[in-house]
Structure 1
Amino acid sequence: MLQIYDTTEDLNAPEPDADATAHPLSLFEFWPGSVFYTPIVLYWIAMGIRYGDFSIPSAANPHIETGGLCGERKTDILDLAGPLARQWIAPYIAITLDKRHREQDEVRARTAMKDAGIGFPVVVKPDIGCNGTGVKLVRHPEDLASVLAQYPGSVRIVLQKLIDRPIEAGIFYIRHPDEANGRITSITYKDVPHVMGDGVSSIEQLIMRDRRMSLVPEIYLPRLGDRRHHVPAPGQRVELVFTGNHCKGSVFRDGRADTTPELTARLDALIKDIPDFHFGRIDVKADSIDALKRGEDFEIIEINGVGSEATHIWDRRTTLWEAYRAQFEHYSATFRIGAANRARGWKTCGAFTMLRAWRKQRRMLASYPLND
């Protein structure tokens, strides 16, 4: 059975069940997207031909723009939550930055935060985005203005309470419209990569000594800036990434073995409180893995639609075949769900609308600041 480790453990320590000679990265873990996703795009095209509509998945979550494939606002999904689900969602607000009066952005943000009972630290992220692009952590009030200034004017941003719980997980949920209950198809734990100071070596030197991080230093060094030359004190833990996304440097671990009836029932009840939501990934912060397995003591920080993926595939122990099988199974499900909803009268967004939303999102992502 696959063993899962608490994210508070030292990621630089050898895993008890791992071969010490095993490669720290999987074969495909950092392949270019144009390479890894080509078979998936071809599969999508084949499914679109089969169903007579390339945008069928957009009907899987019909109240969300493109079903959550791309271009949707994060808050549009969260705002759909009913009274039960809302109790489990981390507090958030959204404002649109003023292109003409940027000096007012901080005042408006602070006012909105105060009205929502959100204090510092606070997480700032674009309302339209993916893969953690543009996500920033503002620990102190005096840093808010400088962070907001890094986003282009007229962009809508989300300010969300920082959830200080040690376990972050992505849980994939699927429920066919004909099914009374949904199911969990993936759980992924997201570990924060870090180095431990020795009082002599710089952060960059410590990174270059790490078996895993030394293979992809381009992920970690740019966001450090001049901090890469800082020499941490002996035993000082320096976290290198805040955003829990694999492509931004977080380490993902397959947690499917921790799926329990209690967690499934809890998640099913919460997601049913979001109208006609059938397919997507729910990102949560929990007090512990045991608590998560009991379906207790966690908060939802984000809900993603059909554009999300079952991220356990990025565990370094996952084979290429296992990764593609998981991708094909999930996208097959979203086509089936979309087709079922279309038969019930829901409309798909259309291939051209889907393409325009993807191009718009791509342009916006390029304008965001480097994530923390």
Structure 2
Amino acid sequence: MAEPAPANPLSLFEFWPGSIFYTPIVLYWIAMGFRYGDFSVPSAANPRIETGGLCGESKGGILDLAGAEAKKWIAPYTVMTLARGARSEDTKIALAAMDAAGLHFPVVVKPDIGCNGTGVKLVRDRQVLNEVLASFPDNIRLMIQKLVDAPVEAGLFYVRHPDEPTGRITSITYKEVPVLYGDGSSTIEMLVRRNPRTSLLPDIYLPRLADRLDEVPAAGEPVQLVFTGNHCKGSIFRNGCADATPELTHRLDTLIKDIPDFYFGRIDVKAASIGELRHGRGFSIIEINGVGSEATHIWDSRTTLAEAYRTQFYHYRQTFRIGAANRKRGWKTCGALTMLRYWRKQRRLLASYPLND
């Protein structure tokens, strides 16, 4: 089970700038690219997905690959494209798409191409839906998905080589949404600035609470600071690797094998409890991520820098090994220039999305 919360609210490197933390990883990727003669070898690790899921891939497109058995475990969803210019019809189109998919409020709206929870919105009714759709630029594809109201959110990292009969879980991360409790006299801003962890990260939390900073919650009243389960957006990550039981591994392996030629990535799930998850039941898949995903347990504040890099290097080494094996089987890599083009497209899109909930 997940370990108890640490005494230290943040690790040494937990919120280092990406340009610092990821530099050794980029250098490692370049070294592996020279070794394998192609910097885009990992794109063949999941060859049916754009860039293998490194960047610019469609979330809906990945879920659409699932076979009948895997679909039973995926939270219902639909994908729509916002109109170009005539935006007044967007809500009608969205409601029609929801009706066709059997979706009802509340739902989660998120960009079909995106990462790190950017632009993810919780939508409880038609009025909020209208506001959320209007906050995105024209011609953007959005996924609308059932809100899975379960208390446990986890990221399960799955790795299988093409010549292996079964895969394995190499990482489990439990994602905790930070919640503060009112005392009947302090404003929300005061609560944020007093908490041992949130006081160190005001730039993450305060902008999302801009309209509520002067509120004074009643004594014991919970204040949820973020909605999305993303570390860079403020969620707290806990190492749950010890919960990779044979039952859970077998269940996940069975489901992922029902997604053609998927060998590497993180499966984000919502579960009824940690106990149910350990038994390989009582969970719904909300997202499947490819080569660009991380074994996010490294963001547990107890993780050392050496452990984090060891984990990162291990997983990126696997993407090259799996991609090379698929290349020998006849799959093509996307090429470094295509990989760069998709990365630029994703970066441009991310900059255009509204602030996530």
What's the TM-score once normalised by structure 1's chain length?
0.95
DSSP-derived class of the 2:78 partner:
strand
1:175-202 superposed Cα distances (whole Å, 9 cap, x missing partner): 0001000000000000010110111101
1:279-308: CA deviations, max 9, x gaps? 000000000000000000000000000000
Alignment identity in percent? 71
Residue 24 of structure 1 deviates from its aligned partner by: 1.1
Alignment partners' CA distance in 1, 2:183 and 2:204: 22
Is residue 106 from structure 1 mapped to residue 91 from structure 2 by the alignment? yes
Which segments of 5 or more consecutive residues in structure 2 lack a partner in the other structure?
Answer: none
* Counterpart AA for 1:128: I
Cα distance, 1:4 vs structure 2: 2.9
Aligned-partner Cα distance in 1 for 2:342–2:146: 28
Instruction: Say which SS state the counterpart of residue 156 (structure 2) adopts.
Output: strand
Asked if 1:161 is matched to 2:134, the reply is: no
Do residues 315 (structure 1) and 314 (structure 2) align? no
> Does the alignment pair 1:253 with 2:238?
yes
Is residue 2:114 matched to residue 1:129?
yes
- Supply the AA of the counterpart residue of 2:196: R
- Aligned match of 2:214: 229
Give CA-to-partner distance per residue, 1:20-79, whole Å, 9 cap, x none. xx4310000000001000000000000000000000000000000000000000011000
Tell me the distance in 2 between the aligned counterparts of 1:110 and 1:289. 34
How do 1:1-372 residues align onto structure 2 when only pairs under 5 Å count?
A: 3-4=2-3, 15=5, 18=6, 22-372=7-357
Distance 1:230 1:138 in 2: 22
Give, in angstroms, the shift of residue 205 of structure 1.
Answer: 0.3
SS in 2 for 1:280: strand
CA distance in 2, matches of 1:3, 1:299: 19
Rounded Cα–Cα distance in structure 2 between residues aligned with 1:285 and 1:335: 30
Partners of 2:338 and 2:211 in 1: CA distance: 43
Distance 2:353 2:172 in 1: 29
Matched letter for residue 280 of structure 2: G
SS of the aligned residue for 2:75 comes to coil
How many residues of Structure 1 are paired with residues of Structure 2 in the alignment? 357
Q: 2-side partners of 1:133 and 1:71: how far apart?
A: 13
Rounded to whole Å, the distance in 1 between the matches of 2:127 and 2:211 is 21
- Counterpart-to-counterpart distance in 2, 1:3 and 1:104: 46
Separation in structure 1 between the aligned mates of residue 288 and residue 195 of structure 2, nearest angstrom: 33
CA RMSD of aligned residues (A): 0.8
Q: Offset of 1:223 from its aligned partner?
A: 1.0
Q: What are the Cα deviations for residues 306-325 of structure 1, in whole angstroms up to 9, with x where unaligned?
A: 00000000000000000000
Q: Aligned-pair distance for 1:221?
A: 0.3
Structure 2: distance between partners of 1:183 and 1:218: 37
**Separation in 1 of the partners of 2:107 and 2:332?**
37
Determine if contact 2:160/2:263 at 8 Å carries over to the other structure: yes
CA distance in 1, matches of 2:167, 2:68: 20
**Secondary structure of 1:120's aligned partner:** coil
Q: Distance in 1 between matches of 2:78 and 2:261?
A: 23
Write the letter of the residue equivalent to 1:347: K
Alpha-carbon distance in structure 2 between the residues aligned to 1:251 and 1:205:
20
Q: Partners in 1 of 2:224 and 2:188 — Cα distance?
A: 10
Structure 1 residue 140 displacement after superposition:
2.0
Deviating more after overlay: 222-231 vs 300-309: 222-231
